[in-house]
Amino acid sequence: MKRILLLAATAALMLTGCSSETSNTAAADGVSFDEVLSTRRSIRSYDASKTISESEVREILLATQDAPSWANDQPSKYYVAMSPEKIAAIQELIGEGNKKNVQGAPVLIVSTYEKSKSGFFGGNAINEVGDGWGAYDNGLSNAYFILKARAMGFDTLIMGMRDSDGLRSLLGIPSDEAIMAVISLGYRAGEPRMPVHRDLDEIVKFY
Ligand SMILES: Cc1cc2nc3c(=O)[nH]c(=O)nc-3n(C[C@H](O)[C@H](O)[C@H](O)COP(=O)(O)O)c2cc1C
């Protein structure tokens, strides 16, 4: 009887697609976190035949809100271009190399942070890092963005080479926001090269 119950339970688990291993995997696609980290690469060649929906972009942006920020100030903001006109206009503001590399990416996103927020109290910088904490928070938020995108099967390229004045006027970004990266979002058209990483002992010191 015990054996029959066990078999029935196993069959039920197989039918629902659940297993005791699912708690270790990314919910959306069953990709492990380590796999998300190791397959996430800067992608410089996109498959133009594939599109991404607004609701998928929203799901990725929702994940950025799980990122920590100074005093929960949440200074990061995102400007999402999905129309061909806005995408073409942004492509003119990221330099020739980046423009060529993001051809076919269906989404371009500009990330900013609200200045004098993270790391500030009563209008004064709390320590020597000043608005660097806003940039720090924005980088954390963008890290969540690119990893969540990868977990959903998408690819990204963070671009620091961009014309911030041009982006500000194109997208109406207020002057109290610092413009950080442009991020492309799409599907890889080929496998990227693995970058060389420094030896761990060059960058870490244990005490
Ligand atoms: C802040 C920042 C700015 C970057 N700017 C550019 C850029 O303008 N163009 C580009 O092709 N890659 C850019 N990259 C991507 C880096 O070159 C890439 O992350 C690095 O070579 C490591 O490769 P990987 O992302 O595949 O691990 C940038 C990355 C970061 C984090």
Confidence (pTM):
0.88
Chain-centre distance for alpha carbon 10: 37
Q: Which residues of 155-174 are buried (b: 16+ CB within 10 A; e: fewer)?
A: bbbbbeebbeeebbebbebe
Residues 1-40 have pLDDT tens digits of: 444 443 343 333 333 333 333 333 334 557 899 999 999 9
pLDDT at 29: 57
pLDDT at 12: 38
Residue for token pair 């990483």: 197
pLDDT at 15: 34
**For residue 11, is it within any domain?**
no
* Stretches in the chain below the pLDDT threshold 50: 1-27
pLDDT at 3: 44
pLDDT at 30: 77
| Residue span of the structural domain in which 116 resides | 25-191
Q: Which residues of 97-111 are buried (b: 16+ CB within 10 A; e: fewer)?
A: ebeebbeebbbbbbb
The number of folded domains in the chain is 1
Ligand 1 contact, 98 CB (< 6 A): yes
Residue 161 CA to ligand 1 center (angstroms) comes to 10
**For residue 204, is it within any domain?**
no
Q: Which atom number of ligand 1 is nearest to the Cα of residue 44?
A: 11
Residue 6 CA to ligand 1 center (angstroms) comes to 51
| Token reading at 66 | 């799980």
Q: The domain spanning residue 179 has which CATH number?
A: 3.40.109.10
> For the purposes of burial, counting CB atoms within 10 Å of the CB of 66, is it exposed (0-12), middle (13-18) or buried (19 or more)?
exposed
| Residue type, position 118, single letter | S
Residue 111 CA to ligand 1 center (angstroms) comes to 15
Q: Are 117 and 124 in contact (CB under 8 A)?
A: no
